[in-house]
Structure 1
């Protein structure tokens, strides 16, 4: 009986060891994808950097570029400078106790800001806009091209610093006019290109504006280029540079992604642009192939370290879902979209909506994408008074 008890104890001990070994194996198995798993979290510091109680208090459009022209994650330091540009910006004063606007407020169609550093800091960003003789705010960029209609204005698209053209910063600008009625009381009618010479600073007295052929309508719907720029150049820090700048557009009701490219040395020579038709690059912009669909009117395509790309966008422009999609090359093919975030701000008020997600690679950390999305309200005139802090970008970080 004594030996029988001893054997029983040994069997129990071995069984316990086996269970622990099995549990450890299960734990290891569950953690198999820990290094490759996609994770997303809110990054409130960047949104708080854009939260102000006086002066510039918000905007619903945002793009940026590194002033050294390097557009890759992890390239910034405490001395690095980034230029932001915003659309539909609000100037006013907020009653911080009641959290409402006090007195009158004014809106301008676009503004810029300069930020120094690699981490968000409200003390290191400074905003700029023009003013009239009475001190009223004016948009930083206003249409001055030959065919710009009276009372039209600019909503700003993407841009970049072009090392091959003496570090000129190019920004695409959508020509907009207001129209009565409709849930969105405006329409885009063209695309211009703004060129800011090297070392330009507000109010950009040396800026040049140029009309482009990058806006057209055909049987496939309306096509608008300039929603995203991807410089595949040595100066931009691309992993496998080919000297081309890839410019993306959105087409039709299905929000199809299309792409063109041009050598960086010939960026503003539209006769040198070529358009991807699914098999080759050619001169016919109407033959563009759809790389994917259900994108947003503003989005991004960013290089990964291995030379592949990752697109970031809001599904169908104004949606609660932020998505990403990996691509083998800048012209695809792209994988199906992966949903990585549901925007909680859309549920803060019945009239709130979120839209136009995009990544900011120069502000991102290695292996991650810092992505912004806009917040606005269908009852804008009422909610800008009641909820003045809602109208500013929010940020998330996607680790992939």
Structure 2
């Protein structure tokens, strides 16, 4: 089961079904990885693309905000907090030892909930490997208060289970999350996947849901169905802006991924009708939702930046890309333009810090509540195409990385 689930996750992350590449070297120990130098650079490319279905949202005129008119240079600071805190906690082997997704939500009482999908639990061997019998579950939380971390799962300490129990014929992965009802609820988008047969690839995305937890006790209260009729996974990001919560979804066609935008009045995704951006206005028909941008990852972010908006994503226009990129807009619905390279992940591929062709990076996004002044905090996930071996041989691989990214204006375009 561990091996099957990990195979599923790696293909969703990359969006392409191909044979795994051969291992070219053994994973290096975490302490053997050289500290990358800060990266500085800019990147531009055309942003008008086409797809096999649904016309792209038409442009609604020249964007005039400074965020779009400015040319930005990104300077990256790898290993930003809380990366070392997570690593030290993982090394103890007393709870969470690695996972992907890595969304964060501020909770009452000075806490931060870290939202994870596929999760390994302890123990950890003295040589930094995992026992093959280590517990593995499809979703979990870690709660941070200052420099203290606590693992939150379902089940019991001796028999931990996923926070959101799997349905009879599938499993749930967590997506973007937020609070509702004045912080009383922790609401987490959840994607249900189902098996369609007994083969390795006999599974599919089935539906979107909202998992509602009590924000104080973190106990599951209910699972609420969300719109799911247009082949859009409404779990990429949640943005609170004015009277609305904007919901960013991904139409995942494998090799191509397209962003869509919906909105709900208020902070409760289950408490008001959904509206879908058509490219010129809003519709109550989910199938009228327009493609806004090609090349986003299943997990990305859209946040306020100066007088506009910044979209941060792994670049899925490239296979197994090492590039974290940003796009700018004057509106939460786009168009998102001026593609800018923010960072190159040093772990990726045979030339990366593990010296392993199977190592991939994916699903980068920002944590706006944890910005330090003008510096963004961006996380991304690391995995292996040979997960059955690599993730057990080296516990350091399957942990989130955090990078500080400072954007400096170069002048107007």
Normalising by the residue count of structure 2, what TM-score does the alignment of the two structures yield? 0.73
**1:185 CA drift (Å):** 7.2
Q: Within 2, Cα distance between the matches of 1:359 and 1:188?
A: 25
Give the structure 1 partner of residue 244 of structure 2: 244
Give the structure 1 partner of residue 142 of structure 2: 113
**Aligned: 1:61 with 2:101:** yes
Higher relative contact order, chain-length normalized (CA < 8 Å, sep 6+): 2
Give the structure 2 partner of residue 201 of structure 1: 217
Computing the radius of gyration from Cα coordinates, the structure with the larger value is 1
**3-state SS in 2 of match to 1:50:** helix
1:1-400 matches, cutoff 5 A: 37-51=73-87, 52-53=90-91, 54-55=93-94, 56-68=96-108, 80-96=110-126, 98-102=127-131, 104-117=133-146, 121=147, 124-132=148-156, 135-143=158-166, 149-163=167-181, 167-178=184-195, 186-197=203-214, 199-202=215-218, 204-205=219-220, 207-213=221-227, 215-217=228-230, 222-232=231-241, 242-253=242-253, 254-264=256-266, 267-269=269-271, 272-306=273-307, 308-316=308-316, 318-346=320-348, 347=352, 348=354, 349-400=356-407
Q: Within 2, Cα distance between the matches of 1:180 and 1:382?
A: 23
**1:36 CA drift (Å):** 6.0
Q: Within 1, Cα distance between the matches of 2:259 and 2:249?
A: 6
Question: Is the contact between residue 260 and residue 289 of structure 2 (CA under 8 Å) also seen in structure 1?
Answer: yes
**3-state SS in 2 of match to 1:267:** coil
Question: Is the contact between residue 170 and residue 196 of structure 1 (CA under 8 Å) also seen in structure 2?
Answer: yes
Question: Is the contact between residue 252 and residue 298 of structure 2 (CA under 8 Å) also seen in structure 1?
Answer: no
Normalising by the residue count of structure 1, what TM-score does the alignment of the two structures yield? 0.75
Mark the CA change 1:195 to 1:380 in structure 2 (over 3 Å): closer, same or farther: same
1:132-157 deviations in Å (ceiling 9; x for gaps): 5x9222111125xxxxx513221001
Q: Within 2, Cα distance between the matches of 1:193 and 1:40?
A: 34
Q: Within 2, Cα distance between the matches of 1:200 and 1:385?
A: 34
Mark the CA change 1:103 to 1:296 in structure 2 (over 3 Å): closer, same or farther: closer
**3-state SS in 1 of match to 2:134:** strand
**1:130 CA drift (Å):** 2.2
Mark the CA change 1:298 to 1:50 in structure 2 (over 3 Å): closer, same or farther: same
Mark the CA change 1:82 to 1:395 in structure 2 (over 3 Å): closer, same or farther: same
**3-state SS in 2 of match to 1:316:** coil
**1:395 CA drift (Å):** 1.0
Question: Is the contact between residue 93 and residue 103 of structure 1 (CA under 8 Å) also seen in structure 2?
Answer: no
Question: Is the contact between residue 374 and residue 392 of structure 1 (CA under 8 Å) also seen in structure 2?
Answer: yes
Q: Within 1, Cα distance between the matches of 2:85 and 2:149?
A: 8
**1:163 CA drift (Å):** 4.4
Mark the CA change 1:330 to 1:136 in structure 2 (over 3 Å): closer, same or farther: same
Question: Is the contact between residue 179 and residue 267 of structure 2 (CA under 8 Å) also seen in structure 1?
Answer: no
Give the structure 2 partner of residue 19 of structure 1: none
1:14-69 deviations in Å (ceiling 9; x for gaps): xxxxxxxxxxxxxxxxxxxxx9642122134422222212132111221111115x
Q: Within 2, Cα distance between the matches of 1:251 and 1:103?
A: 35
**1:325 CA drift (Å):** 0.8
Question: Is the contact between residue 245 and residue 267 of structure 2 (CA under 8 Å) also seen in structure 1?
Answer: no
Gaps of 5+ in 1: 1-34, 69-78, 144-148, 233-241
**3-state SS in 1 of match to 2:82:** helix
**3-state SS in 1 of match to 2:347:** helix
RMSD value, Cα: 2.3
Q: Within 2, Cα distance between the matches of 1:243 and 1:126?
A: 34
Give the structure 1 partner of residue 15 of structure 2: none
Question: Is the contact between residue 216 and residue 224 of structure 1 (CA under 8 Å) also seen in structure 2?
Answer: no
Question: Is the contact between residue 274 and residue 281 of structure 1 (CA under 8 Å) also seen in structure 2?
Answer: yes
1:305-327 deviations in Å (ceiling 9; x for gaps): 43x11011111185211111111
Question: Is the contact between residue 140 and residue 151 of structure 2 (CA under 8 Å) also seen in structure 1?
Answer: yes
Aligned length: 323
